[in-house]
Amino acid sequence: MHGKVAIVTGSSRGIGREIALALAKRGVNVVLNYQKDKASAEAVACEIRALGAQAEVVEADVRHYDQAQRLAERAMDRFGRIDVLVNNAGITRDKTFRKMLPEHWHEVIDVNLHGVFNATKAVIEPMCDQRSGCIVSISSIIGEMGNAGQANYAASKAAIIGFTKSLAKEMARHNVRVNAVAPGFTETDMLVAVPDEAKEKILTQIPLGTFASPQDVAHGVLYLCDESGRHITGHVLSINGGMYV
Ligand code: NAP
């Protein structure tokens, strides 16, 4: 993968950060993206440069079509190509459905689903022109099995699976592969928000008995993006410790 160029949305922390670092360790130049936390994104860029790869940091809110376009333009201006897009930026606004307000619904759908549309639109023409590309979107086990209190999040993550399978069929003839990764519960800030009691209960439901690390998810993304994944498209790779529905 040496010398290739990747955009990773939401790569200032958590899973996105680990994906960016894993790509950089393979010699991939990475366009990092954040919404609010510039300092953390710059820190990831320093780590990437220390690994010998190049990094560009771009503030962009993936909810906005024009900002996603700017993200891809910055990648093209700096590197002249885009080989990989990882649609990773995501949020939760957990509420039981009776307490869920329209803003909780719209915020999650805007970031998790419209963000995927926006960033993918921004890279698809360069990838088709190159006749190569790899898009990986981060779905979730919640999109596969549902979860009380997460109807908004589950809907957004299930939609990513339908999007991935459809786009894979459209893009195969352009040699652009489109896949998703569906992590189970993974140790990031997102999991910190879950109360300890609920986490204990979740752990009892994971056959392997531990939460995923962000690195576990990053390894799956790497597998899909590099040569080992060259015949894989339209696939959803579950990384969940055996917690199948
Ligand atoms: P996280 O630690 O909360 O990090 C979220 C990242 O997304 C941050 O870099 C954040 O940027 C960025 N972001 C949020 N809103 C954005 C926006 N509008 N535009 C651009 N960037 C935005 O989350 P995580 O746990 O690493 O999750 C990463 C992905 O994995 C998400 O799609 C999540 O749904 C999925 N996932 C997570 C788990 C889990 O258990 N953690 C399980 C399954 C799937 P700032 O720092 O600038 O705010």
Residues 137-183 pLDDT 10s? 999 999 999 999 999 999 999 999 999 999 999 999 999 999 999 99
pLDDT tens, 12-69? Answer: 999 999 999 999 999 999 999 999 999 999 999 999 999 999 999 999 999 999 999 9
3 in Cβ contact with 32 (< 8 Å): no
Question: Of 88, 109, 194, which is best to mutate to test ligand 1, by the most ligand atoms within 8 angstroms of its C-beta?
Answer: 88
pLDDT for residue 244 is more than 90: no
Determine the pLDDT at residue 194.
86
Sorted by sequence, the CB contacts under 8 Å of residue 231 that are 6+ apart come out as none
Report how far ligand 1's centroid is from the alpha carbon of 72 (Å).
Answer: 19
Closest CA to 112 of 128, 129, 92, 94: 92
Determine the pLDDT at residue 65.
98
Q: How far lies 114's CA from each of 53, 65, 129, 137, 156, in Å?
A: 30, 9, 24, 12, 9
Would residue 153 show up in a list of annotated catalytic residues for this protein?
yes
Can you tell me which atom of ligand 1 is nearest the CA of 89? 7
Say if ligand 1 is within 6 A of residue 109 CB: no
Q: Which tokens is 133 given? A: 């590309």
Q: Can you give the C-alpha Rg of the chain in angstroms?
A: 17
Determine the pLDDT at residue 193.
82
Q: How far apart are CA 26 and CA 162, in angstroms?
A: 30
> DSSP 3-state assignment of 208?
coil
Q: How far apart are CA 222 and CA 230, in angstroms?
A: 11
Closest CA to 51 of 28, 33, 79, 67: 28
pLDDT tens, 192-243? Answer: 888 899 899 999 999 999 999 999 999 999 999 999 999 999 999 999 999 9
Say if ligand 1 is within 6 A of residue 243 CB: no
**Catalytic residue chosen out of the listed positions 34, 65, 153, 223:** 153
How confident is the model over 81-87, as a mean pLDDT?
A: 98
51 in Cβ contact with 30 (< 8 Å): no
How are strands ordered across the β-sheet holding 55-59?
A: 55-59, 29-34, 5-8, 84-87, 133-138, 176-183, 236-239
Report how far ligand 1's centroid is from the alpha carbon of 199 (Å).
Answer: 19
Report how far ligand 1's centroid is from the alpha carbon of 19 (Å).
Answer: 12
209 in Cβ contact with 203 (< 8 Å): yes
